[in-house]
Chains A and B, each alone.
Chain A
Amino acid sequence: MEASLLNWMIFTPTIGALLCLIVPGKQQARWVALISSIVTFLFSVELVIAYYGLSAGGVQFETAVPWIAGINAFYRTGVDGLSMPLVLLSTALSILIVLASWRIEKATKAFMALYLLLLTGMLGVFLSLDMFLFYVFFEISLLPMYFLIGIWGGPRKEYAAIKFFLFTLAGSICLLIVMLGLFFLTGKAVGASGNTWVMVSSDPGTLTLQSEAVRALFAMDDGAYWGFAQWAFWLTLIAFAIKLPMAPLHTWLPDAHVEAPTPISMILAGVLLKMGGYALMRITYPFFPDAARYFWVAVAVLAVFGILYGAMCAMAQTDWKKLVAYSSVSHMGYVTLGIAVMTRTGFDGAYYQMIGHGISSAMMFFLVGVVYERAHHRDLDRFGGLWLKWPGYGGWSLIGFFAGMGLPGLCGFIGEIMVLLGTFEAAAIGNVGATSQATVYTLGILAASAVVLTAGYILWMFQRVYMGNEKPEYGEFAALTGREYFIMGTLGIAALVFGILPILVFNLTDPTFTSIMAILGIGG
């Protein structure tokens, strides 16, 4: 029952998308989009409830239907602790994003249809267990985004859309190369079992394509395995680091965000970036843990570099939305760092950082969008006094931006501090090999220093936008609508709840993470 529910959940938005195209008017299309996203959300809530009841670590509600026999590809979906919270985040955000795009007047039907198609792609990415299916959904999520930015975007939308598309496509190619490598190098061994593309198995007894299983596929020829693992690790890392995005592969992100319409920025920062982190945890690290351990310093250095680099770039921006976009680069650096150090705390922290950032970045982009809709510019130096103009909006902004800053009690804090603690933990536990403690401490201190930079750019922005006296042109601004307050309020309350009750997420993820840690060869 849940398994079919899960499949319905993936394709409900697709059905909605078709309906959007059929219905006669814009208003109907909006309602169709809203209703289908609400239905999707309700499905996911039902799934969470069912999942909670099981409290098991393995994959649940699995569907496996043969798909392309020649390459052993299956239509295989299911959910585990790694995907469940992200699915819920996506479906919950999707409702708010439909609401946020209520005012889109240009080709509304197409917008809603594309948006719903995007939702299917995202859910498919999180819920597919077959690597081939994963790849297909990964690509499906790409195309609607291209149009959503390229048609409904700002002045340089074509440039941004093409950049986004090509960048991500380059990543997909890297993934495809690895998939081809896996297929051809292991073709013989898995021909019989038919599990060529299984990313994670619901039955712990059987081989899955992870770690030992990947090694087994190479018939214990360590030399061949190691050579492949090194390449494959970096290729998959690049594939997902582009999505994440990890500096210096990030430059598509500011352009995409700046040009994208507000709701699309929200979904881009809120969910699409998480696909990268999710895939790192799902594919790169469990598949090639030896390589991950071997190269951890390089990845961690890149991550810390990204954290500081993103923060520095954010500080220098005068475009409000670009500042928020660069803050995403910085914050997603914590995700990479938490994964790279390969400690349980780091992994947990990285995962929580994704959830927290999903809430806070969506909120930040919405807060920017609310003002942009009225002021038609985003120049930080031309704002000021918004807090006086709209005290309620100012209050929610405080929550949104300070959640982004990682203030305790708000959702950004837990991920951030756990990643930092996990980084230091790496020195003691030594999962990461015989690297000297000094390296780990240096990385930890540098990562910690980002809290100062983060505070710097957020507070400076806050001062320039919210503090001071009102500007005369604010008089023409329309009052905030109930719809806008609803979106801000929901996200703000979510930021508070997830900042206070991390256990909500960790209860879902704990058993799965324990098994992932076992694959990685890490205690805990």
Chain B
Amino acid sequence: MEPRQLIETLAVAALFAPLFSAACIILATRRVMFKSAGVLATGVMAGGFVCSVVALVTWLGLDDTSPIVTNIGWIPIPGSEAGWLYLGVLIDSLTVAILAMVTGISMLVHLYSIGYMDGDPRYNRFFGYLSLFTFSMLGIVLANSLLMLFVFWELVGLTSYLLIGFWFEKRGPQLACKKAFVMNRIGDMGFLVGFGILFAKLGGNILLPAVHGGMFDAIRAAVEAEGYSMANPPMWLTMAGIGVFFGAIGKSAQFPLHTWLPDAMEGPTPVSSIVHSATMVAAGVYLTARIYPILTPGAHLFIATIGLITLVMAACMALVMTDIKRVLAYSTLSQLGYMVLGLGAGAYSFALFHLITHAFFKCCLFQCSGSVIHAAHHQQDMRYYGGLGRKMPITMICYGICTLAIAGASLPFTSIGISGFYSKDGIIAGTVNYGVAMQSLGSWGNLFWIGPTVVAYITVFYMARSFALTFLGEPRDKHLHEHAHEVPWTMTLPQVCLAIMAVIAATLPFLKLIEVSEPAIGGEAVAWMQPTEALGDAHNPGMHATHAYLLHGLGWIIMLVLGVVMYRPGMKYAEKIAAIPGINLLYHWAHNKFFFDELYDTIAVGVCKLAATIIALIDKYLVDGMVNLAGWVTRQLADAVGLFDQRVVDGAVNGAAAMATSGGQILRSTQTGRVRAYVLFLFASATVVTLVVVTVVLVSP
């Protein structure tokens, strides 16, 4: 088979493989398939992984690296030039890289789930959902148009809803899954608006990637037709970019829609490990990368600001959490903030590279935390841990390696480090350039690099804290410690694989693939959005020009040691520090997640529910009341008319009769029957008549 065709076939096979297993598992009854569901799903997923790895390798051997595009008309748009809204497949170097990462991690999570979900009454259904979830994510990765992206975007929302709410008997997961979906929907609303604006301008031509003859050319034509240029873009383009990015804010849990992500920890830990690493949260970053060329400088600034706020805020929260999964959740938020900031700042390649490296070490960290929770009988509070390293050495080593990876560990004063070092460094280098480029903001521009640099050290500290609290020191809960044990191989194997990947990811060709896909490198077409165009060094992982990175080599060690020393004996130092006046307020604030939940619950949810109640009351009493009032008035009117008819109209008839009767009664009395009386009348009348006639005759002339 021709290699490009082979790649496409393999990618499509990898896409539909999890759908196939999901369909089998969901349609089969429990009797047909229960225990075998895990094996089936994992096996199929492994097949998908093999497909995507083969595709990746084949891609690396290609001379022609232009994207492979297949468009299939889905919804006809007869008015537009394109004629259709398309589904289909788009494969470029970014796609193959992310595809391999997603299928690989998904396979490992499936494997891990076999052990973790063992004994669950809905064991088979879990694998159905998990495979469906992977399918949705792969759909996003392979999407060829904004529409297809949105379709799978929503499916990711649905499947994450099912997975987070998997243990729906309990109240926590119920609320968490609902919150996740609704928060995502708020982002989707923005996505829809951006989508709508682009559709209005481009018709059906909303194909990805935005740059390679897809919608970018159409946008440029539309922009120039309106008398603007790409260097001086119109407002609607910025709005569209920010709108679509709102979808990413929802999925990647950026400020201000971040609150669903920590709550999503209510789901089973394998769910956390896949949602927070390779799939759902990655989708937002991936989306932003896919629409990168249409993002105007204004949109870039917006994205960078959102990323900056998220990464600082989340790091502060991670410092004070005691639930092991919540620490990791906030670290995910923070790392996503790095990626988003990187994309906003123009460090496209490193942001996406960080997406991949982060996927490996964060997935591993979650799996390790899951193993710990599994071993600790679902106790998630780190204050009850301590000394678990002796019971679970493999888990501890994996967790340790990934802690180093997320810390961005490197040998001091050199540029040799573990995978996270390269990616995070690249982002920080990009932000330094961005901060310099954003002179228009004055000294505020410097926040764009100070923030990520400082947070890099905070990251080391809180990761060291969680490591020390969990694995080091003396057991703080003897009972828990006695029952702790190393988890079965189905759970340790994926951890080990992921830990290895976390170390070596930088040596794999991911970065090279991503750089090829970078729109800025594609030519001058998108140079206008690159305020950091001059950022030559950032493209070379070996070169880190700013001394911040050289110091970083020392810095991370200091922070690591500090974290370990401080938390090895448990929380006692931390509690003393937290009690210091002033700091205690900060602590309280961070511990309550900056009160975002309360804010949203009261303001957004509360107002919404209140408004709904009020509107429903209005509907019931005012709108419906009007209708009932109209009915009531009509009835009253009818009564009145009835009364009128009875009294007046019919009364007139009866009155006439009554008058006739009474008149008759009066006349009757004259009919005495006496002859003489008649005669008297006769003559009296004759007299009167005569008198009248005579008078008239006499008086008249």
Q: Which A positions have Cβ atoms within 8 angstroms of B?
A: 163, 166-167, 247-248, 250-252, 255, 309, 312-313, 315-317, 343-345, 348, 385, 387-388, 395, 398, 402, 407-409, 413-414, 417-418, 420-421, 423-429, 437, 441, 444-445, 448-449, 451-453, 455-457, 459-460, 462-463, 466-469, 502-503, 506, 510, 513-514, 522-524
Contacts of B182 in A (CB 8 A): 452, 455-456, 459
Given A420-B192, A452-B182, decide whether A467 and B165 contact each other with a Cβ distance below 8 A.
Answer: yes
Q: Which of B106-114, B447-455, B609-617 makes up part of the contact surface?
A: B609-617
CA distance in complex: A296, B78 (Å): 22
Q: Which residue of B lies closest to A524 (CB)?
A: B79
Q: Is the CB of B611 within 8 A of A312?
A: yes
Chain B proximity of A291: nearest CB distance (Å): 22
Q: Is the CB of A424 within 8 A of B611?
A: no
Given A344-B78, A456-B182, A524-B78, decide whether A468 and B169 contact each other with a Cβ distance below 8 A.
Answer: yes
Tell me if B697 is interfacial: C-beta within 8 Å of chain A. Answer: no
Chain A proximity of B397: nearest CB distance (Å): 39
Contacts of B608 in A (CB 8 A): 315, 453, 456
Q: Is the CB of B158 within 8 A of A425?
A: no
Interface size on B, residues (CB 8 A): 54
Contacts of A421 in B (CB 8 A): 195-196, 199-200
| A-side interface mostly | helix
| B-side interface mostly | helix
Given A344-B77, A418-B75, A502-B75, decide whether A467 and B199 contact each other with a Cβ distance below 8 A.
Answer: no
CA distance in complex: A444, B199 (Å): 12
Contacts of A452 in B (CB 8 A): 182, 185-186, 189
Q: Is the CB of A387 within 8 A of B193?
A: no
A-B contacts, CB under 8 A, total: 153
Tell me if B74 is interfacial: C-beta within 8 Å of chain A. Answer: yes
Q: Map CB proximity to A onto B123-144 as digits: 1 under 8 Å, 0 otherwise.
A: 0000000000000000000000
Chain B proximity of A375: nearest CB distance (Å): 19
CA distance in complex: A498, B171 (Å): 34
CA distance in complex: A250, B618 (Å): 13
Chain B proximity of A510: nearest CB distance (Å): 7
Q: Which residue of B lies closest to A315 (CB)?
A: B612
CA distance in complex: A523, B203 (Å): 13
Q: Is the CB of A316 within 8 A of B155?
A: no
Q: Per a CB cutoff under 8 Å, which of A344, A385, A413 touches B79?
A: A344
Contacts of B158 in A (CB 8 A): 402, 407
Contacts of A469 in B (CB 8 A): 169
Given A163-B627, A395-B26, A467-B174, decide whether A514 and B169 contact each other with a Cβ distance below 8 A.
Answer: no
Tell me if B361 is interfacial: C-beta within 8 Å of chain A. Answer: no
Q: Is the CB of A467 within 8 A of B169?
A: yes
Contacts of B533 in A (CB 8 A): none
Q: Is the CB of A387 within 8 A of B150?
A: no
Q: Is the CB of B79 within 8 A of A429?
A: yes
Contacts of B196 in A (CB 8 A): 420-421, 423-424, 444, 448
Q: Which residue of A lies closest to B168 (CB)?
A: A467
Q: Which residue of B lies closest to A455 (CB)?
A: B185
Q: Is the CB of B615 within 8 A of A408?
A: no
Which of B78, B171, B619 has most A Cβ within 10 Å?
Answer: B619
Given A309-B615, A408-B150, A468-B174, decide whether A428 and B168 contact each other with a Cβ distance below 8 A.
Answer: no
Q: Is the CB of A251 within 8 A of B619?
A: yes
Given A312-B611, A421-B195, A448-B189, decide whether A251 and B169 contact each other with a Cβ distance below 8 A.
Answer: no
CA distance in complex: A448, B150 (Å): 14
Tell me if B178 is interfacial: C-beta within 8 Å of chain A. Answer: yes
Contacts of B74 in A (CB 8 A): 502-503
Q: Is the CB of B76 within 8 A of A510?
A: yes
Given A251-B627, A502-B74, decide whether A451 and B192 contact each other with a Cβ distance below 8 A.
Answer: yes
Given A385-B169, A452-B189, A467-B165, decide whether A345 and B197 contact each other with a Cβ distance below 8 A.
Answer: no
Given A251-B623, A385-B169, A455-B181, decide whether A463 and B76 contact each other with a Cβ distance below 8 A.
Answer: no
Q: Is the CB of B75 within 8 A of A414?
A: yes
CA distance in complex: A126, B143 (Å): 39
Having A387-B168, A425-B203, one finds 7 other A-B pairs with CB under 8 Å, namely: A309-B615, A315-B608, A421-B199, A463-B168, A467-B168, A510-B76, A514-B78
